[in-house]
Amino acid sequence: MNRKVVIANDHGAVAVKRILADHLADRGFTVTNLGVDDEASVDYPDIAQRACAEFLQGGYEFGILCCGTGIGISISANKVPGIRCALPQNVFAAQMTKEHNNANFLAFGGRIEYQEPVTDMLDAFIDSEFLGGRHGVRVDKMMKISSC
């Protein structure tokens, strides 16, 4: 099975995007890079919108977005109907966002000093499965909020 991921970043997260993209490739994923590869200023809402639109065309397992903190780009992504973008701060949160929230995007900050490697957080997300059940009911409720 060809596992595909879309990844995108602004100028504040070039290095972390490269780390994550290389790690995904090492794990056998095909990575579509819609981000920038230099530090010339770009607007993270535009980057988020482009990556989410690509993801929603189908064929991707999940997406990753990166900006200086991960906050702005995740907020932007969560404005797109059908997107659930989480900003994990550690391995536990990355695992839970897949198991409980069925997130389809992760966000990371290129200027954040994480206590655990971002690759470990990514692995926790990839290696977890959505649990469904009561969590499915909650995800459905969550997604209905965006339609208000």
Q: Which domains does the chain have, with CATH numbers?
A: 4-145 (3.40.1400.10)
Nearest-angstrom CA–CA distance, 77 and 142: 15
List, in order, residues 6 or more apart from 134 with CB less than 8 Å away.
none
Residue 119, pLDDT score: 98
Tens digit of each residue's pLDDT, the chain (148 residues)? 689 999 999 999 999 999 999 999 999 999 999 999 999 999 999 999 999 999 999 999 999 999 999 999 999 999 999 999 999 999 999 999 999 999 999 999 999 999 999 999 999 999 999 988 899 999 899 888 855 5
- Residue among 111, 98, 126 at smallest CA distance from 5: 126
Residue 2, pLDDT score: 83
Active centre residues (catalytic): 67, 100
Residue 135, pLDDT score: 93
Residues recorded for the chain: 148
Residue 148, pLDDT score: 54
